[in-house]
């Protein structure tokens, strides 16, 4: 039976712009690529990915009373996501993310929160009436909403998965209740701990620092092309990456965490879930866009089998 995952997070429209490189201050360059508007947002990316990978998904979010909001809600319904807890804000616009994509596949992202900044603790508390088996949230919404998700999950005794991005130095990690998996990427790890996880020693130091700040069963550091690093308070593992041709890294981390969550809920095996997530994240980089880059279970299994 499919697990029901409550995703509490952001919904955006992504403005994707291809550029040979990021211009310097005062510099104007001409893009030799294309641009597009596509669905995105860390919460939306995770919700769609979880649904695509077999979970029953309930999404708690906010959109504006505009065409972009209508487009997003229609997409979620098409993907079989429960949208009862998505509110339409009559004042704020739908969130917007400007994604500048360089030739080598790396990106720079600027987010306008819009309606997402109105997601609050009451929204999250109400969504728990869906009786989820697990909760997945991110930091693209207000800290109060994230803390509410943690408190409700702890009260209900269900596992909480936290994608720690985008991170800020002052995020109150200490206020989060027990977490099943805390997963920042390299940049977010450095912001939260002051330690760049560029070596195995630093991965361990950063993981210990995170465990000292918050009660988490596992820390899973997303290391991009180096795979991921798992720490449970006693033992650590480096899970190898999959080599693929990189086109666009947008949403790869969101899809990684969604895949980790859905696979872990099936059997509780964090190593197997991390390998599955590495494959999902790698495949996400082979396509342009956020939600459009979510791989299928069949694609992930083929990569896992080396086909």
List the domains of the chain with CATH numbers: 4-22+34-304 (3.40.1190.20)
**What tens digit of pLDDT does each residue of 228-261 get?**
999 999 999 999 999 999 988 888 999 999 999 9
The whole-angstrom separation of Cα 285 and Cα 92 is 31
pLDDT of 108 above 70: yes
Which has the minimum average pLDDT: 19-28, 56-65, 266-275? 19-28
- The mean per-residue pLDDT over the stretch 268-292 comes to 94
The whole-angstrom separation of Cα 94 and Cα 64 is 4
Element (H, E) at 276: helix 270-284
- The highest-confidence range among 13-17, 69-73, 104-108, by mean pLDDT, is 69-73
pLDDT of 65 above 70: yes
- The pLDDT value recorded for residue 292 is 87
**What tens digit of pLDDT does each residue of 170-221 get?**
999 999 989 999 999 999 999 999 999 999 999 999 999 999 999 999 999 9
pLDDT of 76 above 70: yes
The whole-angstrom separation of Cα 231 and Cα 203 is 9
- The pLDDT value recorded for residue 187 is 96
**Residue scoring higher pLDDT (16 or 269):** 269
Which has the minimum average pLDDT: 161-165, 241-245, 303-307? 303-307
- The pLDDT value recorded for residue 219 is 98
Q: Give the tokens for residue 224.
A: 């991009």
The whole-angstrom separation of Cα 259 and Cα 255 is 6
- Burial degree of 105 (CB within 10 A; 0-12, 13-18, 19+): middle
Predicted confidence band of residue 133 (pLDDT cuts 50, 70, 90): very high
- The pLDDT value recorded for residue 132 is 97
Predicted confidence band of residue 109 (pLDDT cuts 50, 70, 90): confident
Work out the number of other CB atoms within 10 angstroms of the CB of residue 8: 29
Spatial CA neighbour of 154 closest among 183, 139, 134: 134
Which residues are known catalytic residues?
254
- The mean per-residue pLDDT over the stretch 68-77 comes to 96
- The pLDDT value recorded for residue 307 is 57
Q: Look over the chain and give the mean of its residue pLDDT values, rounded to a whole number.
A: 94
- The pLDDT value recorded for residue 10 is 96
């Amino acid at each position: 039976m499919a697990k029901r995952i409550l995703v509490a997070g952001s919904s955006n429209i992504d403005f994707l712009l291809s550029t040979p490189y990021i211009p310097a201050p005062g510099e104007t360059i001409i893009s030799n690529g294309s641009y597009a508007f596509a669905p995105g947002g860390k919460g939306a990316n995770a919700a769609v990915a979880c649904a695509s990978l077999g979970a029953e998904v309930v999404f708690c979010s906010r959109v504006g009373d505009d065409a972009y909001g209508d487009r997003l809600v229609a997409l979620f319904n098409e993907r079989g996501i429960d949208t009862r807890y998505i509110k339409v804000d009559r004042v704020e616009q739908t969130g917007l993310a400007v994604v500048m994509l360089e030739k080598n596949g790396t990106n720079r992202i600027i987010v306008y929160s819009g309606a997402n900044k109105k997601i609050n603790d009451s929204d999250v508390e109400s969504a728990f009436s869906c009786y989820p088996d697990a909760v997945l949230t991110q930091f693209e919404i207000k800290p109060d909403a994230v803390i509410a998700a943690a408190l409700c999950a702890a009260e209900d005794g269900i596992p909480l998965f936290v994608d720690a991005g985008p991170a800020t130095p002052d995020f109150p990690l200490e206020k989060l209740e027990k977490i099943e998996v805390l997963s920042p990427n390299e940049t977010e790890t450095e912001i939260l701990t002051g330690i760049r996880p560029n070596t195995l020693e630093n991965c361990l130091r950063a993981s210990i620092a995170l465990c000292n700040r918050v009660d988490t069963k596992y820390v899973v550091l997303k290391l991009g092309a180096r795979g991921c690093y798992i720490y449970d308070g006693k033992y650590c593992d480096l899970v190898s990456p999959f080599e693929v041709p990189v086109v666009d890294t947008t949403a790869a981390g969101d899809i990684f965490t969604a895949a980790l969550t859905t696979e872990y809920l099936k059997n509780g095996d964090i190593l197997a879930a991390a390998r599955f997530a590495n494959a999902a994240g790698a495949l996400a980089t082979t396509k342009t866009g956020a939600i459009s880059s979510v791989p299928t279970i069949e694609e992930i299994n083929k990569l896992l089998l080396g086909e």
